[in-house]
Amino acid sequence: MAYMVCAEEMDGRWIAHVPDLPGCFTSDANLDLVLKAIPAGIEAYLAWCRGHGLRVSGLSGPMTVSEVIRSWNYEVDQEVNAFFAADRPPVTSDELPEYEHLLGATRRDLIGAVDGVRIEQLGRAFPGERWPMVGILRHVATAEWWYLDRMGLSFPRNELVEDPFERLDQVRHQLLDSLTALVQRQGVLAMGGETWSARKVLRRALWHERDHAQHLQRLRRMLG
């Protein structure tokens, strides 16, 4: 039996997701290359899961690219990201323990990427980078808040704390407390020109945190 891959364009690069493996993805500026990297990406993902003590079964059979979606702008500064058919099925209560474990693993990676980095280094600007490391941490937390807000499960934005580590904790607690509510969301909704579902919220939260943990690790190597 074939396994499914969904690809989306975002911020000038392509991201290919493997829906059967939450948080498994590859990325590249070239669509063909990002798809060719999927088998290696799956192996890396399985190794990552094992490293975090997670038991995840691999996939067999050929790869099927089910959807390829380009991003578009709803407003000048708002990019609309993909909603895949694989995002439509409701999240079941049986899936929650796996999602909780995966969210714990991605958070450990994110914090581990900056563990021991000095305060002044966290604020250091890097050529060609949009944010310093501290800005990336704040961005991850704010994006997760945004995902919850799309589902009507966030607290007011003006209550977000300023400290990036406290903000990460604040929003993650809200996400974990909202998992049961996400299970109860059986349909999809549209807001700001974008379609959302509980499964999309979790897909994006896992992808985004893993992506930026890797990003921070690359920046850390540049610190010398």
- Sequence ranges of the domains in the chain: 1-81, 88-224
Query: For residue 10, what is the enclosing H or E element?
Result: strand 3-10
CA distances from 103 to 24, 52, 100, 175 (A): 13, 11, 5, 10
pTM: 0.95
C-alpha–C-alpha distance, residues 70 and 8, integer Å:
6
Helix axes 133-150, 164-177, angle to 10 degrees: 20
pLDDT at 221: 95
Q: Rounded to 5 degrees, what are φ and ψ at 160?
A: -65, 130
CATH architecture of 1-81: 2-Layer Sandwich (3.30)
pLDDT tens-place values along the chain, 224 residues long: 789 999 999 888 999 999 999 999 999 999 999 999 999 999 999 999 999 999 888 788 899 999 999 887 766 567 789 999 999 999 999 999 999 999 999 999 999 999 999 999 999 999 999 999 999 999 999 999 999 999 999 999 999 999 999 999 999 999 999 999 999 888 899 988 899 999 999 999 999 999 999 999 999 999 97
Cα distances (angstroms) measured from residue 199 to each of 48, 107, 190: 21, 19, 14
Tokens 């977000």 -> residue: 160
- Identify the architecture of domain 88-224 in CATH: Up-down Bundle (1.20)
